[in-house]
Structure 1
C-alpha cells in the first residue's frame, strides 16, 4: 500500500514538543485526572481503588456498557449496540475505510480537511474525487458541484463537520441536501464529527447518523472532552451491513480498547455537561481574543469560525507557509501549522483552544515576528 505522507501530523511530530507557545494544538485545553474528578464530583480514591483492583484482561471486547451508553447519549437515535469503539478518531476513520472501501470504488472527499479523509481511500485504490471548499463560500460545500460529482454513482462521500482547519459548520439544511445527494447513489456518508458540540452558540448540532440510515459518524474523547491522552474514539451508524464489516475487520487490527481508557472515558461522558460547559467557555472567549487580534493585523484575513477549535488565517507576505511557520517558530517560539499542509498556500492554521495565557502570548509574539517581516 502506498500512501502520501501525513503532512499535518509530520509537522506536529517534528515541532510540537519544543514550542514555547503552542497554538497549533487542536484539542481544547487538556485536563488531568484530578481535574476530571473535580468536574465530575467523583471520589478520587474510590475510583482509583476500584480501577487498580481490576485484573488487566482484554476487558469488554466490544466496549464497556458504561462507555457505549455514554457515547450513545451524544446522539438522538443511536443505540449502544450501534457503536464500535476504536483507537481515537484517527483509528475510527481508518477502520471505516479499511472495512468498506475497495479498489476502484468512487469516493468523494472535501478539501481542506483532515488528510485521512482522502489519502487513505486513495491508498486503498479508490478513485478519489476532491470537492474544494472555497473561502468566498465560507468553506461550505457547493451542493450543485457535489451533485454533479456524484452523478453516475459513488460509494462514499466524506465530510468533516465542523471543519478542520477552517471552523466552518454545515447547517442542518445543508446536511439534509447532502443526504439527498447520497441517497441517489445509496452511498455511505462518512462525517468526521470530532469537533461536534464545540459551537459558538447553544443550538443543538445534529449528527449525520440521526439524519441518514447510511450515515457514519466518527469522533473521540480528544477534542471535545480534552482527553487526548485517553486514546479512545468510536464509529456510530445504524447501517447493519457496515456494522457487520466493522466488527469483522476489527478482529484483525484491534480486538479491544484499553479497559483503563474506557473507564476514564465513561466517567467523562457521564459528566459531559460539566466538561462541555468548561470547554465552550474556553473556545468562545478565546475566539474573541483571536478575532480582535486578526482585526488589528493588516496583513491577515480569515473567515471567522462557527465551530471547532481552529481557524485558517491567510497572510499576504511573499513567502511560503512552511518557511514562514519555521522562521516564526525559530524567532519567537510561536507554533502554528502551515496552510500548505492542507494545500492552502499562504495561510496558517491557528488553534485557539489553548489556555488563554498561551494564546495571548503566542499571538503577541507572532505580531512581533510579522512586524519584522514587514520591515524586510
Structure 2
C-alpha cells in the first residue's frame, strides 16, 4: 500500500519530546490515574487490587458491557451493540476505510482536516474529491459545493466536527443538509468527532449518528477525556451492513483493545460529567488567554474557534510555516504545528488546551520570537525554562 507521509504526525514525532513549551498538543491537559480516581471518587487501592488480581487474557473481545454502555451514553440513539471498540480514534478512522472502501469508490473529504480522512481512502485506490474549507466561511462545509461534488454518486463523505485544526463547529442544520446529500446517494457519512463535547457553550453538540442512519461517528478517550495513554477509541453507527463489515475486518487486525485500557476507560466514562466539567473549564479559560494574545499581536490573525482544542493562526512574515515553526522551536522553545501540514500556508496550529502556565509561557516565548523577526535578528540560542 502506497500512502502519503502523515505530515502532522511526522512533525510531532520529530519535535514533541524536546519541546520547552508544548502548545502543539491537541489533548486537553492529560490526567494521571491518581487524578482519575479523585475525579471519579474511586478508592484507589480497591480498584488496583481488583485489576491486579485479574488474569491478563484478551479480555472482552468486543468490549466490556461497562465500556460499551459508557460510550453509548455519549449519544442519544446509539445502543451498546452498535459500537466497535478500536485502538484510538486513529484506529477507528483507519478501520472504517479498511472495512468499507474499495478501489474505484468515490470519497469526498475536506481540507484542512486530519490527514487520515483523505490519505487513507486514496491509498486504498479510492477516487478522493477534496472540498476546501474557507477561512471567510468560518471553515464550515459549503453545502452547494458538496452537492456538486456528489453528482454522479459517492460511496462516503468525510467530515471532521469540531474541525482539526481550525476549531470550527458544524451546526446541526448543516449536518442535516450534508446527511440529505449522502442519503440521496445512499452514501455513508463519516464524521471524525474526536473533539465532540468540547464546546465553548453548554449547547448539546449533536452527533451524525443521531441524525442519519448511515452516519458513522469515530472518537476516543484521548482528547475529550485526557487519556491518550490508554489508546482506546470506537466506531458508532446504526448501519447494520457497515457493522457487519467492521466486525469481520476487525478479526484480522485488532482482536481486542486490552482489558486494562477497557477498565480505565470504563471508569472514566462512569465519571464523564466530572471530567467534562474539568476539561470545558480548561478550554474556555485558555481560549480567552489565546484570544487576548492574538488581539495584541500585529502580525497574526485567526477565526476564533467555537469548539475543540486547536486554532489555526495565520501570520504575515515572509517565511514558510515549516521554517518559521522550526526556528521558533530552536530559538525560544515554543512548539506549534506548521500550517503546511494541513496544506494551509503561512499559518500554524496552536493547541490551547495545555496547562495554563505552559500556554502563557509558550505564547510569551512566541511574542519574543516575533519581535526578533521584526528586528531581522532571529537568534539561534534556546532559552532555559523559566
Q: What is the TM-score normalised by the length of structure 2?
A: 0.97
In structure 1, distance between residues paired with 2:306 and 2:139? 11
In structure 2, distance between residues paired with 1:375 and 1:344? 26
Partner residue, 1:319: 319
User: RMSD of the alignment, in Å?
Assistant: 0.3
In structure 2, runs of 5+ residues without a counterpart are 377-386
List aligned pairs for 1:65-104, cutoff 5 A: 65-104=65-104
Partner residue, 1:267: 267
Residues 83-108 of structure 1: per-residue CA shift (max 9 Å, x gap): 00000000000000000000000000
In structure 2, distance between residues paired with 1:26 and 1:314? 18
Deviation at 1:59, TM superposition (A): 0.6
Residues 54-104 of structure 1: per-residue CA shift (max 9 Å, x gap): 000011110011000000000000000000000000000000000000000
Residues 167-216 of structure 1: per-residue CA shift (max 9 Å, x gap): 00000011010011101101000000000000000000000000000000
Partner residue, 1:241: 241
In structure 2, distance between residues paired with 1:330 and 1:215? 44
**What is the number of equivalent residue pairs in this alignment?**
376
Does residue 109 of the first structure (1) align with residue 80 of the second (2)? Answer: no
Deviation at 1:130, TM superposition (A): 0.1
In structure 1, distance between residues paired with 2:349 and 2:257? 31
In structure 2, distance between residues paired with 1:57 and 1:369? 52
Deviation at 1:152, TM superposition (A): 1.1
In structure 2, distance between residues paired with 1:255 and 1:36? 27
Partner residue, 1:34: 34
In structure 1, runs of 5+ residues without a counterpart are none
Deviation at 1:361, TM superposition (A): 0.1
Q: What is the TM-score normalised by the length of structure 1?
A: 1.00
Partner residue, 1:296: 296
Runs of 4+ in 1 over 3 A off after TM superposition: none
Partner residue, 1:143: 143
SS in 2 for 1:229: helix
Partner residue, 1:221: 221
In structure 1, distance between residues paired with 2:290 and 2:165? 15
In structure 2, distance between residues paired with 1:61 and 1:260? 13
Deviation at 1:371, TM superposition (A): 0.6
In structure 2, distance between residues paired with 1:101 and 1:174? 25
In structure 2, distance between residues paired with 1:41 and 1:180? 44
SS in 2 for 1:301: strand
In structure 2, distance between residues paired with 1:284 and 1:122? 36
Partner residue, 2:373: 373
SS in 1 for 2:60: coil
SS in 2 for 1:104: coil
SS in 2 for 1:30: coil
In structure 1, distance between residues paired with 2:288 and 2:88? 29
Does residue 125 of the first structure (1) align with residue 125 of the second (2)? Answer: yes
In structure 2, distance between residues paired with 1:45 and 1:68? 25
SS in 1 for 2:159: strand
Deviation at 1:125, TM superposition (A): 0.1
In structure 1, distance between residues paired with 2:299 and 2:187? 43
In structure 2, distance between residues paired with 1:72 and 1:52? 27
Residues 208-262 of structure 1: per-residue CA shift (max 9 Å, x gap): 0000000000000000000000100000000000000000000000011110000
In structure 1, distance between residues paired with 2:72 and 2:271? 14
Partner residue, 2:352: 352
Partner residue, 2:285: 285
Residues 25-63 of structure 1: per-residue CA shift (max 9 Å, x gap): 000000000000000000000000000000000111100
In structure 2, distance between residues paired with 1:24 and 1:296? 21
List aligned pairs for 1:202-217, cutoff 5 A: 202-217=202-217
